[in-house]
Structure 1
């Protein structure tokens, strides 16, 4: 599966389900043989951490130097303790746990950590996450239990980035037969169907109670909900409306997990209509975000006005707006900007109609409903938004010319995602900054936030960054989602946290190795 599909939302709305599914039954109880089947909406591009698999610690196969708790706090994993940082912030040292082994019995050493990070940084490997580790100048393993990172400049998020899974030195980077030190070991993979994992009996905190995991892929939202209803899955990621049908079922729990995962309109900025700031700002004023939350998300979310969640300490409170929209203000803005209603009601300026295409992934009904809502609100102010439901292969080459309902978002350090989405050096590099945004001041602020070791300087840089992209309406942000999980059976150790955009086996399932069937 390509990067585009990893970015696809894992949600569905009742429109696809209406008339397609019979009333759900409770289905079987918790599995008695230790096998637990999870229904996921998208497959993984790769199972290699070096090539971008679960770098934020959501993997069950690998562990990084650090791991992340449900409250987003960092705790040592492969490392024995948090890192030691030099006074100038340019040297970061980790001491590894003693006696830790990979699934095949090889000891985990500093050489493995060095190999993993150097493989990411090696341009010949073309790792998609290489830019996230650009501050690292050199990695050394002076002895089996020590790793030293030498940085080109202070980089406050390095400990956050240290959740990257560690692979054995010399192993191929394909991820075809992944070997890690995490709570589950790889058994098999059937492309397009499933991945089978089994408990690591030698895991450092003890073997998982769920002895076997099956990660079953069902990209079609309707199919995934139907299979959950039929009892084929023990858990599934579902959209709010589809999950509502499981509410109150005996032996079934619906978890609605807060996230920093947003959906918004990515604009191609080099086009006559979407490149006009007045049109973008008018659209941002016109959309009824609260209706999207209430209807499309069935209440499982919140209005979004920028790329940083209000639930994080990095959020700029000045980045806000009217949740229900202000179409009258939008009309005035367009009129003042020279966009005059034409005979068909669509505004025109200098012979150009206020019309553009808004794409969405055809299999993602939540994004489809958001696109429909945007088109309706735009029509009310004289902007013609034409919708196109396409597969990701068709979407990718059109992102520089057509707008897209897109999703990203991270609750971690604001350097995450934002640098790649808004720095000009990433302009039109695939799904990073596909609209071609280029603002020297934003570049400066992102560089300051990335390079400064002063927390106050970093905070101000990200506050200012948020204000600029909000005022420029680089995107029109629509909603922050709650990720919704349905679990059949009663388990101890289920700890919802705060999700990022990609959840897959992260999110609620991040700690599934600690789950135990309730007595």
Structure 2
């Protein structure tokens, strides 16, 4: 039986009405036409691209100089054509006639302001290290932007998906605390009507969008962290499109499976007395039954993972797991079957976000597989706030991955310079070989040399086992009957408001 269209429409109307009541100035035509309601588990901390929102594009509110099409190929967006690259100089010509949601005309100075703000040490931008190859950005005239790089960086054009903010709205402000971060002004197909943290984001169509007037009147993004609650509300017919865990999505006839480069794995903190032992890590790496996880936990919607670069990537190589010699490393079976070394039991905690049913099941599968070889793993479901301060000492079911360039995630996730910097390298992995390979990978232009560098990186990672990679996922969504225009494309790990199945929702209609 299909999801109730009437229920979804009622919710959309109610949410738009609430937003209009709290913001009288925005009670416009968006309330009167077709509005799509989508639901996701992830909610952004900010809606400002400078602070990290929608950095890979498809953010609905902003545009970058370039965007990605349905095949993830780069296409011009705010740039009139793809920027040109001449060694360490990248030049972009802006599209004419583009305006921000407040009517301000887009100029090259807005682009300069955006990128300089990311690089400004006073701004708490998570993207600064992503642009450390950028020496300067200038605007020789109102329609031209010139980026000067410190070194030739092969995937730089892909960094130009970053949403552009209006300099007028943020100049002279403390960007870290600006009201813009909650109610921004962009050039995208939708403008923000209201954002109620923990509940919903309401977007209205930007009728003056340079890419053409949206085919619908608005979008409501519902934030529902708990997988089971989201499934229950889907059953009640509240959403047009909803992201669900594979097993939960299987209960609905309209499930859509989307290919990704999104992996899940066990991050093993090297400062932990047990998880920091290479023999333990290598033994766990060979003990986990990845195919059983794909079949059981993912309901077949994925594939085994052995490293951080997806098998579909031109940079992926097959690696050989490190040999596990527990006895040679001094581990012997205790009276209860759990390994012991110098009085230390082979036991450690494995954290996972309690609201994420998929990560919970993966954690429990790891627990069962580890027990078979004498390693006691204690699962613990927590909130992210509770997980965050413990990552340097306790293992964690983590997720990352990108279908774009391998430099985008792996450089910070496994580079020693980023050890214990938030969610990047929380386990303090430190390898001179891996560091050098990651540097070579980002500084080489020649494809063959880049492939060789990333091959070295992947082989070193397989030898050191700072993670036990488990599975690559397919993202699963439930789409209501009658929704047309849905175009799946290979997705990264980060998906929520941005880069989800609704990346092109401005073209969607309902039959």
Conserved 8 A contact 1:135-1:153: yes
Which stretch has the larger CA shift, 442-451 or 27-36? 27-36
Could you report, residue by residue, the CA deviation over 1:234-281 in whole angstroms, capped at 9, with x for unpaired residues? 11100111111112xxxxx32100111111000110222111111101
Match of 2:220 in 1: 214
1:239 and 2:245 aligned? yes
- Specify every segment of 5 or more residues in structure 1 that has no aligned partner in the other structure, as ranges: 1-23, 248-252, 322-328
1:414 and 2:412 aligned? no
Match of 1:13 in 2: none
Match of 1:14 in 2: none
Conserved 8 A contact 2:266-2:469: yes
1 CA distance for matches of 2:404 and 2:468?
22
Task: Please show how residues 66-77 of structure 1 align to structure 2 within 5 Å.
Answer: 66-77=66-77
Q: How many residues align?
A: 479
Which stretch has the larger CA shift, 34-43 or 108-117? 34-43
> 1:176, CA displacement in angstroms?
2.1
Runs of 4 or more off by more than 6 Å in structure 1?
none
2 CA distance for matches of 1:303 and 1:33?
44
> 1:319, CA displacement in angstroms?
5.6
Match of 1:285 in 2: 286
SS of the residue 1:366 aligns to: helix
TM-score after normalising by structure 1: 0.90
SS of the residue 2:234 aligns to: helix
Conserved 8 A contact 1:293-1:299: yes
Match of 2:25 in 1: none
> 1:492, CA displacement in angstroms?
3.1
Match of 2:452 in 1: 460
1:181 and 2:187 aligned? yes
> 1:142, CA displacement in angstroms?
0.8
Conserved 8 A contact 1:290-1:303: yes
> 1:70, CA displacement in angstroms?
2.2
Conserved 8 A contact 1:25-1:230: no
SS of the residue 1:203 aligns to: coil
Could you report, residue by residue, the CA deviation over 1:386-410 in whole angstroms, capped at 9, with x for unpaired residues? 1111111111111111100011001
Match of 1:497 in 2: 489
1 CA distance for matches of 2:333 and 2:320?
30
Conserved 8 A contact 1:260-1:309: yes
484, 508, 511: which one aligns with 1:515: 508
TM-score after normalising by structure 2: 0.91
> 1:25, CA displacement in angstroms?
6.0
Match of 2:480 in 1: 488
- Specify every segment of 5 or more residues in structure 2 that has no aligned partner in the other structure, as ranges: 10-31
2 CA distance for matches of 1:365 and 1:493?
29
* Cα separation, partners in 2 of 1:511 and 1:52, compared to 1, 3 Å: same
> 1:502, CA displacement in angstroms?
1.0
> 1:349, CA displacement in angstroms?
1.4
Task: Please show how residues 90-109 of structure 1 align to structure 2 within 5 Å.
Answer: 90-109=88-107
> 1:365, CA displacement in angstroms?
1.3
Task: Please show how residues 32-71 of structure 1 align to structure 2 within 5 Å.
Answer: 33-71=33-71
1:119 and 2:117 aligned? yes
1:342 and 2:334 aligned? yes
Match of 1:387 in 2: 379
2 CA distance for matches of 1:62 and 1:372?
40
Could you report, residue by residue, the CA deviation over 1:135-166 in whole angstroms, capped at 9, with x for unpaired residues? 00100011111000011111111101100000
Conserved 8 A contact 1:341-1:347: yes
2 CA distance for matches of 1:192 and 1:493?
28
1:193 and 2:194 aligned? no
Conserved 8 A contact 1:360-1:390: yes
1:318 and 2:310 aligned? no
1 CA distance for matches of 2:85 and 2:33?
47
> 1:337, CA displacement in angstroms?
2.6
Match of 1:302 in 2: 303
Match of 1:18 in 2: none
Match of 1:352 in 2: 344
Conserved 8 A contact 2:205-2:217: yes
2 CA distance for matches of 1:462 and 1:319?
15
Conserved 8 A contact 2:285-2:321: no
1:227 and 2:228 aligned? no
SS of the residue 1:140 aligns to: strand
